[in-house]
Structure 1
Amino acid sequence: MPAATDPASDATDLRLARTTTIAVVDRDGFVESRHEGIAAAVAPDGSVLAAMGDVDAPFLARSALKPLFAATIAERLGLAGVELALASGSIVGRAEQVEVATAMAARLGVDPTTLRCPPRTTRWMAEHSRLGAICVGKHVAVAAAAALESDAGDLAYTDPAHPIQVELRAAIERRTGVASTAAATDGCSAPVYASSVLGMARAVRGLAGTTDDAVLGAVGAAMREHAWLVEGPGTPDTVLMERLGVTAKFGAEGTAVVVAPDGTAAVVKVADGSRRPGAPVALALLEQAGAIPSGSLAKVAAELGILQHGGSAVVGTLHPLL
């Protein structure tokens, strides 16, 4: 495996991207672990406020792309409210979340058996079902949009060559301002398209409703209003939105997106794929920019699971390094 040294203009994956230490974890002052990664923060106008590591290197934002996908097809499907939040979310599979997915599929005329997301059973579900899949909202929405295409032939809606996927990829490129140099298969079987950390930060600032991208602003508003559908009660993204008023969306393998109410946006990619440091580093970047109140990270540290304990005492924490 090539060493991660200097960034290359033709980098195709994280092996060729320059990373930096973005966070350390201490125990009684002894640093016992560290996380490498890439992070960027942009102002409401898209100008760069902070850049750590190779922010222009291609990476897979995974489920953090869902709000951008939802914004691309929302209007033609009439998505709003809980449906728009679900299409943007990664659910834990609570019964009330499955109920929304079931109603959404019925309204849009999507047969659940035709969905290509993997079925699962959670402790809140009575049966194994695709309607409880973590990515069910995205799949229902994309399947419904794909059904409106007249020239797809026999292509599955998850095929990168399907017209709906071609459109989604183009929309990611348009909103990020970055050519997508690669595509891969996400854990839910749908395509995921490469972007860059900086490009993602510029795209997702529209979730605050402070740009002229009205549909993306509507997506962000739905996510904040129905935060329980973006992940689930007590989980990091839902906690951040309910307690801090930001817009938050994680992606597998260490992607974290957090957007302040004024449109300042931070995106983090953790090199080792861990989720733990992503949101804390993003919050620290937003605090540093003055976009959210000082002490916001400390306010939710326990719920983000970054405090280190020795018995019942707190003896350390994860520290973002900016």
Structure 2
Amino acid sequence: MASTATIAVVERDGFVESRHEGIVAMVAPDGSVLATAGDVDAPFLARSALKPLFAATVAERLGLAGRELAIASGSIVGRAEQVEVAAAMAQRLGVEPGALLCAPRRTRWIDAPTRLAAICAGKHVVLAAAAALAHDAAGLAYTDPAHPLQRELRAAVEARSGVTSTATATDGCSAPVYASSVLGMARAVRGLAATGDDEALAAVGLAMRTDPWLVEGPGAPDTVLMERLGVTAKFGAEGTQVIVAPDGTAVVVKVADGARRAGAPVAIALLEQAGALPTGSLAAVEGELGLLQHGGSAVVGRVRPLL
């Protein structure tokens, strides 16, 4: 594991009960570095935080817009209305649900397991559709890193991040995930704001903010952040959190122990310090994000960012 810094602690009645180590990078809208902690140039796996970059890469050829862009970038909880959006997109793109290579999933909102309820269903629908248009695939599955589409996606991540990917791994949904760096990811995702010149990525960000319920789900952290603060937010498994302020200031956090809870408060606190979010933004959402520590009905502590 790359070198890290202590980025947040959990306090209870003033006692530090636990702490989170991690790597953090914040960049300005022009990509210049505003703050770092830990080895921001070390390779890491952004996991599902790569989805908006993937969606931007294939959006034009598939005619993706609006809710389709949002769910293609999302990690859904599997509500019935989310499955309906995924099903409609699959039908429009001519993708049979049985052809998807993500595992079927059953949730409390639907009656039977279906691949269209998978956390990465939106991504898999657009990958399957885009792969069908690829030439010289030689019978490769769309999740094979050697598939022309996957080579293109990897190159797109490298181009937007400015970092050559040094490793490929298999994500939980069976699709490839490409190593980048925390600083490179921060520079890549700043385009999700409406202020940049990356039109494809800006369209993805707008779709995510317009329909945040398709990026995760009502009451879930990324959806709450976008609804309450107007940011663009996307988590990745094993402790990655991306948050982009409306002006394009971007923070990427990688929590070393893989826990999710420290990512958002650290990112929001840094964006407040940079003036990219109003003071009090973290306080406004920490209850909904589950960051407050309770003793009965009383609040006795919280997850406190240290940067």
* Paired position in structure 1 for 2:110: 125
SS of the counterpart of 1:159?
A: coil
1:39 to 24, 31, 34: 24
Matched letter for residue 107 of structure 2: T
Q: Within 2, Cα distance between the matches of 1:79 and 1:134?
A: 19
Cα distance, 1:210 vs. partner? Answer: 1.5
**1:171 aligned onto 2:148:** no
* Paired position in structure 2 for 1:248: 233
**1:262 aligned onto 2:247:** yes
Cα distance, 1:150 vs. partner? Answer: 2.2
Q: Within 1, Cα distance between the matches of 2:279 and 2:128?
A: 43
Q: How does 1:151-300 map to 2 (within 5 A)?
A: 151-300=136-285
Q: How does 1:14-93 map to 2 (within 5 A)?
A: 15=1, 17-93=2-78
SS of the counterpart of 2:101?
A: coil
Cα distance, 1:208 vs. partner? Answer: 0.3
Residue pair 2:135, 2:148 contacting (<8 A) in 1 also:
no
What per-residue deviation string (whole Å, max 9, x for no partner) do you get for residues 149-188 of structure 1?
Answer: 1210110000000000000000000000000000000000
Matched letter for residue 148 of structure 1: L
* Paired position in structure 1 for 2:83: 98
Q: Within 2, Cα distance between the matches of 1:182 and 1:60?
A: 9
* Paired position in structure 2 for 1:7: none
Percent identical among aligned pairs is 79
Q: Within 2, Cα distance between the matches of 1:197 and 1:298?
A: 26
Cα distance, 1:211 vs. partner? Answer: 1.5
* Paired position in structure 2 for 1:135: 120
Q: How does 1:103-122 map to 2 (within 5 A)?
A: 103-122=88-107
What per-residue deviation string (whole Å, max 9, x for no partner) do you get for residues 61-120 of structure 1?
Answer: 000000000000000000000000000000000000000000000000001101001111
Q: Within 1, Cα distance between the matches of 2:16 and 2:154?
A: 41
* Paired position in structure 2 for 1:12: none
Residue pair 2:70, 2:215 contacting (<8 A) in 1 also:
yes
Runs of 4+ in structure 1 off by over 3 angstroms are none
Residue pair 2:225, 2:233 contacting (<8 A) in 1 also:
yes
SS of the counterpart of 1:24?
A: strand
Q: Within 2, Cα distance between the matches of 1:149 and 1:243?
A: 40
Q: How does 1:293-308 map to 2 (within 5 A)?
A: 293-308=278-293
What is the TM-score with the length of structure 2 in the denominator?
Answer: 1.00
What is the TM-score with the length of structure 1 in the denominator?
Answer: 0.95
Cα distance, 1:126 vs. partner? Answer: 1.3
Q: Within 1, Cα distance between the matches of 2:170 and 2:107?
A: 24
Q: Within 2, Cα distance between the matches of 1:270 and 1:313?
A: 28
Q: Within 2, Cα distance between the matches of 1:83 and 1:42?
A: 28
Cα distance, 1:269 vs. partner? Answer: 0.1
Q: Within 2, Cα distance between the matches of 1:288 and 1:223?
A: 25
Q: Within 2, Cα distance between the matches of 1:203 and 1:150?
A: 27
SS of the counterpart of 1:257?
A: strand
Q: Within 1, Cα distance between the matches of 2:145 and 2:168?
A: 8
* Paired position in structure 2 for 1:11: none
Q: Number of aligned pairs?
A: 307
What per-residue deviation string (whole Å, max 9, x for no partner) do you get for residues 211-266 of structure 1?
Answer: 11001000000000000000000000000000100000000000000000000000
Q: Within 2, Cα distance between the matches of 1:241 and 1:283?
A: 12
